[in-house]
Every structure is written in structure tokens, then in C-alpha cells.
Amino acid sequence: MSMETTAWHALYASRYAQQDKRPFSRAALARILRFARGHRRALVAFLVGSSALALLTVATPLLAGRVVNAITGGAAVRTVVVLSSVIALIAVAEAAAGLLTRWLSARIGEGLILDLRRAVYDHVQRLPVAFFTRTRTGALVSRLNNDVIGAQRAFSNTLSQVVSNLVTLLATLVVMLRLSWEITLLTLVLLPLFVLPARRMGARFARLERERADHNAAMGNQMTERFSAPGATLVKLFGRPQEESAEFARRAGRVRDIGVRTAMVQHLFITSLTLVSALALALVYGLGGYHALRGTLDAGTVVSLALLLTRLYAPLTSLAGARVEVMSALVSFQRVFEVLDLKPLIDEKPDAERVPEGPVSVEFDDVRFAYPSAEKVSLASLEDVATLDTRGGEEVLHGVSFRAEPGQMVALVGSSGAGKSTIASLAPRLYDADSGTVRIAGTDVRDLTAESLRHTLGMVTQDGHLFHETIRANLLLPRPGATDDELWDALRRARLDGLIASLPDGLDTVVGERGYRLSGGERQRLTIARLLLAKPRVVILDEATAHLDSTSEAAVQEALGEALAGRTSVVIAHRLSTVRAADLILVLESGRIVERGTHEELLALGGRYEQLHRTQFSERPPLPEGNLPQARTTTGTGHAQPKAASPVQSSPAGGATGPSAR
């Protein structure tokens, strides 16, 4: 490695090194070695190859000196040819060793990236929903990308450079001291002029690079928020485009200034180091030439010393910055381990059983629950805060008990924050109850396999979330093997087949980020079609029509009639008109069931339900009864069936190709 290349490497390492003041523990080092254990054979071969390559780089200068001595001493042509051939063979061996070590380095590094990414990705999928509600998605993605790659550099780059530089340095020093200890010591006097600028400039570059990264991150966040569909709409309605543009231009201008300054400082740094190396070479040639003319050294030794000098300064400079590189890689490992150390909170028992076949009941038995505090489910670095929120851990459900028989509809109503959505999240085991029991088909959900629980329960939330993929991909999420006929049948039952058929790409239409190319009603019906395709035996509806207009709500309610037919259902509703025909209505307040009964029974009771009913229907007229999946009758099999809902015309097809009316 030339001195100029070494200088550039030192700059790069210092600029992009992560600064972290936390001590690095031996336990963390042991975890790193466990990750590397699967690549130990490749690591051993890699270290041996790096050492051999370092020794070969010292051999060439010695042979070059012998060639010079052979020429000046009038040796036979055969001697010069043999020495030149050996130099050529060493060059070939260096190239082969370089290719081998590079292949091993890439194999180890990429293999480590794969191991770390899989470990983090699989672990994050097991974390509770509370983790995702608190974490900044960009910060989490950075752990999977930047920090994993930073950790990988510890093996693919830093380790090899430290080993090869140490071997090269020791071999070069030994050879140079044997050739001329006086010249070697004098050249070492200039070493601080080579090493110190690298460290000082490196720190300066690191500060500039962090400032540039901060500005780039701020610009990225501004663009991400403003260029999303809801963000762009908000800016157009209430934003200040001139001020937004000025702020963006200010940051972009600062990034430009840092870039110009960095380029000039880089050039000055490289020029200075090149000058120092030239002075060192001049010293070797001057002092060595003096001794050669006096006969105390031969010309070949002077040439060998000059060539070896480049192999002395380069590894010394690299090793001077090795600590920064090592600590940077270790910090990356620590940041990855922080995520891996978060406890999932919900674990599947080794002897977990499947949900029994047949009709399914849902039962809550004296359930108490408190959302976990931030320290149990999150990291300050992922929330972009200095310290975690200390709130949390307060009980939000207080002894909730009820049972939904197979085929029954149980409705949950009450004020916002009463605990309705919390109950809905406990049934599919998004969280576990702190005490009491949640049972599906008479079995504690903690004793059931996660896979069978997913197949048994289906849920439709109020936001109707879709991935930025095709309609087909979004539908196939619960059943990847479903046929096109099954997809179209689900769309027909969700009253969405006409719309999808009218689109140019049909099932292969991309719905956009979060499904924004569809209207609100169309998104909800697509999520209902997905639920129909999954064929769950229990359906949970969490305010599935809360944010829809009357027309869209009527279409969604008609689709829900299909989804609820013959299934056990738990329905959370703000609009009481949607749950009149429920078999059981539970009124919640402050995490407690304060009333229970049918619609007529609760109205006659004259309590909280009657108050909510009176308040709602005094503010606006009730929705038409025919639009609702209500009035259920029980068949001889014990399954409740919905009354036929009145047909409602689907919304126009234009919503799937542009910003639909929502």
C-alpha cells in the first residue's frame, strides 16, 4: 500500500468512524466471537493469507537491491535474470494472495452481514406492537443497514489491515535495522510529521462529516414528510412554501460549503503527507548515498532501504488510526446488540397446541392489563430522545370478563380511551394479559401456537393498512397459495370485483404507499377481501368504518355482512347504529365493563348506553338499518347468521388510479 493510498484510507476511516463514549465490555466481545464462530475456518485462512501477503511485500525491495548490486558489481547476466524472475514470481504470488484474501474477506464480511441482518430482522418481528408505536422507522432501518455494515467492517477490513500492517511493520523494521540501523532510526524521527497530521485532520474531517450527515438527515426527513401524500396535502393547505424552501436551501448551502472546505483540506492533507514522505526518501538517498560513496554501504542496500521506507510509514499510519476503526466497528456491534437485547415479551411455549377444529368461542376471564413502560420495549436511540419516557405500567383494564359464544357477535362500545382497542389486541395476542385469562375455543391463548392463532383470528382495523405492492400481493398475505379464482371470489364478496376488473392492470395494480391510490372505502373493502380469503373463524372489527363517509360506509358494511356470516365476532364501534343487532353489547368506561346486554335491554336500563345513544342520535339522524351487518338469527347449528344487507352501489373505479375522494 502506497503512502498516498494510506493517507486516503486514514481520512476515510476517521471521517466515517462512529463516536461513542460507552465502554465496551468483554461480554459484548464474546458475543462478537460467537457470531464469527460460523466463519472460523475462513477467518483462519484469511489471517494466514494476509500474513503471507505482508511478508511478500518485504521480499521485493530486498531482491530489487540485489539486482542493483548485481548490475553495479558486474555479475553474470544469468544472476540478474534469475533475480528478476524471482521478483516476477513474487509479484504473481502477491496478486494471487491478494485475490484469495479479498475473496475470503468478502465471503466473511457478506456472510456476517447476512447473519446479523437475519438475527435482527427475525428478532424485531417478535417484538411487541408497543415497540413499533414508539420507534422511528428510519432509525430501526439504519440498524439493519448502516450499523450491520459497520460491524461487518470489523472482520472484512479492520481485522485484515491490523494483522497485515503488524506483520509488515515488524518484518520491515527487522530488515531495515539489519541493513542500516542508523538510517532506520533517522527516518523514524520524521514519523510524527506523518502520523500526527493524519490524526488531527481525521478528527477535523469527522466533525465536518457529522455536521454534513446531520444536515443531510434533516433534509431527508423534510423531504420524506413533505413528499408523502398526506404531508404534501398539509403543506398545500396550511404550509408556508417560501419558508420551507428557504430552510431547505440553507441546509443544502451548508452542505455545499462543507463539501468545498473538505475538498481543499483533503488536498492540503495529502500534499503535506506526500511532502513528508518525499523528505524521508531524500534523507535515505542522501545519507545512504553518502555511506555508499564511502564504501560502508552498497548501492543495492540504499535502494532496498528506500523501497522499504514506503512499507514502514504506510502500516504505521494505518495502525495509528486503527483504534478509531476498531472502536467504530465495536460501536456498530453494540448498537446491533441493543436491538437484539430487547425482550420480545410474548414467547411461544415449546409444547404449544393448535386451536381446536370446529366452532370457536372467545372468552375473557378477569383480565387485567397495563401497557409496558418504554424501558421494557424501546430504546432512546431508536426514539431519537435523550431519555425514555418514564410513564407507563398503569393498569388500563380492570377485571374484564365476557364470553362470545361460537357464531355470536359481541360489541364493545364506550368513550375513547375506555379500553376497547386494548381488548381487541389481547385476543390475537398482540399483547399478553398481566393477570386473568384470554381463551380461544376454551384454551388459554398463551398455550396456543402463533400460527394457528393467526389462522383462527382475522382483524380489520380503522386505517385499512396496505403495503406499497400490487392488489394481488396484498390479498395473498394471509394465503400465499390462493388461486386467482379465490382472489376474485373474495373481491366479489367484498363488493370490489367490478372496480378491480375495470383497472388496466387488474390484480397487478400497485396500490401506492399505504394504499393511497385507493379511496378510504376501497381500502377497507380490500382489507375485508383479504380477511375473507384468510377464512378466519373469529373476526375482530376495530372501528372499521370510523372515518368513512356515508356512501363508503354503506359499501363497507355490506362487505362486512359477508365477512361476519357464520363467524364469531368482536366488534368495536363508535356509532351505536352499527351494533344494534349484536347478541351482546358491552359498555366500557375506564377499563371496566359497566353495562352489558342487548340493544333494547340497555336502552331500557337508562344508564350509560342510553346516554351515549341519546347523545349520538340527538346530534345526527341514525344511519339506515339496511346498511348494517346486524340483526342476526341463530341456526340450529348454533351459528349466528346476519340479516341480508341492502345492496349498495360500489364507488367508482377512478379511485384506484389517482387520489380518490375519501
Looking at residue 367, which CATH number applies to its domain? 3.40.50.300
Q: Are 470 and 656 in contact (CB under 8 A)?
A: no
496 DSSP 8-state letter: -
Minimum mean pLDDT range among 63-77, 202-216, 288-302, 630-644: 630-644
Of residues 96 and 311, the one with the higher pLDDT is 96
Query: Residue 5's pLDDT is what?
Result: 57
Instruction: Reply yes or no on whether the pLDDT at 436 is more than 90.
Output: yes
| Same domain assignment for residues 299 and 425 | no
For 33-58, the pLDDT digits (tens) are 787 788 888 888 888 888 888 888 88
The pLDDT tens digits of the residues spanning 113-128 come to 888 888 888 888 888 8
pLDDT for residue 68 is more than 80:
yes
Higher pLDDT, 369 or 105: 369
Q: Collapsing DSSP states into helix, strand and coil, what is residue 543? A: coil
Q: Are residues 446 and 591 in the same domain?
A: yes
What does 388-449 look like in DSSP terms, one character per residue?
-------EEEEEEEEEE-TT-EEEEEESTTSSHHHHHHHTTTSS--SEEEEEETTEEGGGB-
Whether 638 is in a domain gets the answer no
Tell me whether residue 600 is exposed, middle or buried, using C-beta atoms within 10 angstroms of its C-beta: 0 to 12, 13 to 18, 19 or more.
exposed
Q: Which residues, 6+ apart, have CB-to-CB distance to 321 below 8 Å?
A: 10, 13, 14, 198, 199, 202
* Band of residue 194 on the pLDDT scale cut at 50, 70, 90: low
Q: Which cell numbers hold the place of 476?
A: 395473498
Q: What DSSP element (H or E) covers 458?
A: strand 457-460
User: What is the reported pLDDT for 47?
Assistant: 83
Least confident of 20-29, 225-234, 475-484, 633-642: 633-642
What percentage of the chain exceeds 70 in pLDDT? 78
Q: Which residues contact 242 (CB under 8 A, 6 or more apart)?
A: none
Please, which residues have CB within 8 angstroms of residue 383's CB and are 6 or more apart in sequence?
134, 135, 136, 139, 374
Contacts of 470 (CB under 8 A, 6+ apart): 505, 507, 508, 509, 510, 511
Judge if 573 and 505 occupy the same domain.
Answer: yes
Q: For all residues of the chain together, what is the average pLDDT? A: 78
What is the number of structural domains in the chain? 2
pLDDT single digits (tens) 240-278: 777 778 888 888 888 888 888 877 777 777 777 777 777
Short-list 109, 136, 155, CA closest to 221: 136
Residue 353, domain member (yes or no): no
Would you say residue 316 lies in a domain?
yes
453 and 325 fall within a common domain: no
pLDDT digits (tens, 9 = 90+) for 201-239: 666 766 776 677 677 767 776 777 777 666 777 777 777
Question: Does position 478 have pLDDT exceeding 60, yes or no?
Answer: yes
Say what the pLDDT of residue 313 is: 72
Least confidently predicted of 455-459, 536-540, 580-584, 638-642: 638-642
**Closest to 299 in 3D by CA, of 83, 58, 70:** 70
Give mean pLDDT, residues 123-140. 80
Residues 332 and 367 in one domain: no
b (16+ CB within 10 A) / e for 195-215: bebbbebbebbbebbeebeeb
User: Is 80 exceeded by the pLDDT of residue 190?
Assistant: no
Residue 395 has pLDDT above 80, yes or no: yes
The amino acid at residue 574 is H
Please check whether residues 56 and 138 belong to one and the same domain: yes
- The percent of residues above 90 in pLDDT, for the chain, comes to 12
Give pLDDT, residue 361. 92
Report whether pLDDT(349) > 90: no
Which is higher by pLDDT, 481 or 326? 481
656 lies in some domain: no
pLDDT of residue 369: 92
Whether 491 is in a domain gets the answer: yes
Orientation of helix 3-16 relative to helix 299-320, angle to 10°:
0
Confidence at 503, pLDDT banded by 50, 70, 90: confident
- Provide the CATH number for the domain around residue 173: 1.20.1560.10
* Residue 536 pLDDT greater than 70, yes or no: yes
Strand order in the sheet with 584-589: 457-460, 538-542, 568-572, 409-414, 584-589, 592-597
51 lies in the same domain as 180:
yes
Is the pLDDT at 642 greater than 50? The verdict is no
Same domain, yes or no: 596 and 473 = yes
Q: pLDDT band at residue 440, thresholds of 50, 70 and 90? A: very high
The stretch 364-379 carries a mean pLDDT of 85
Task: Verify that 126 and 156 share a domain, yes or no.
Answer: yes
pLDDT class of 644 with cuts at 50, 70, 90: very low
Same domain as 208, residue 60: yes
With DSSP H G I counted as helix, E B as strand and the rest as coil, what are the percentages for the chain, rounded to 5?
Answer: 65, 10, 25
Contact 631/489 with Cβ under 8 angstroms? no
Clarify whether residues 304 and 368 are in a common domain.
no
Q: What is the mean pLDDT of residues 481-506?
A: 87
pLDDT recorded at residue 206 = 63
Does some domain include residue 382?
no
Q: Are 104 and 321 in contact (CB under 8 A)?
A: no
Write phi, then psi, for 458 (nearest 5 degrees): -125, 145
Give the mean pLDDT of 376-385. Answer: 72
Rounded mean pLDDT, 571-588: 85
Report the distance separating Cα 88 and Cα 71, nearest Å: 18
Q: Does any domain span residue 352?
A: no
Report pLDDT for 400. 94
Measured distance CA(451)–CA(446) in Å, rounded: 12
574 within some domain: yes
Cβ atoms < 10 Å from Cβ of 57: 23
Burial zone of 542 (CB within 10 Å; 0-12 exposed, 13-18 middle, 19+ buried): buried
Q: Give yes or no for residue 16 having a pLDDT over 60.
A: no
Question: Does the pLDDT value for residue 622 go beyond 90?
Answer: no
Average pLDDT over residues 615-630: 52
- Mean pLDDT for 541-570 is 72
**DSSP category for residue 366:** E
Quote the CA–CA distance of 431 and 371 in Å, as a whole number.
8
* Mean pLDDT on 306-325: 73
Residues 6+ apart with CB under 8 A from 227: none
- Look up the domain containing 496 and give its range: 362-372+395-633
Residue 661 confidence (pLDDT):
34
Q: What pLDDT does 276 receive?
A: 75
CA torsion through residues 431, 437, 443, 446, sign? positive
Q: Are 586 and 411 in contact (CB under 8 A)?
A: yes
Q: Is the dihedral of CA 611, 616, 620, 624 positive or negative?
A: negative
Model pLDDT, residue 210: 67
β-strand 409-414 against 584-589: which pairing, if any? parallel
Residues 562 and 434 occupy one common structural domain: yes
Beta bridge partners of 283: none
Provide the pLDDT for residue 626: 40
* pLDDT for residue 89: 93
| Helix (H) or strand (E) run with residue 532 in it | helix 520-534
Distances (CA, A) of 544 to 85, 478, 521, 570, 571: 81, 19, 10, 12, 9
Which among 61, 67, 268 has a CA at the least distance from the CA of 174?
Answer: 61
pLDDT of residue 552: 62
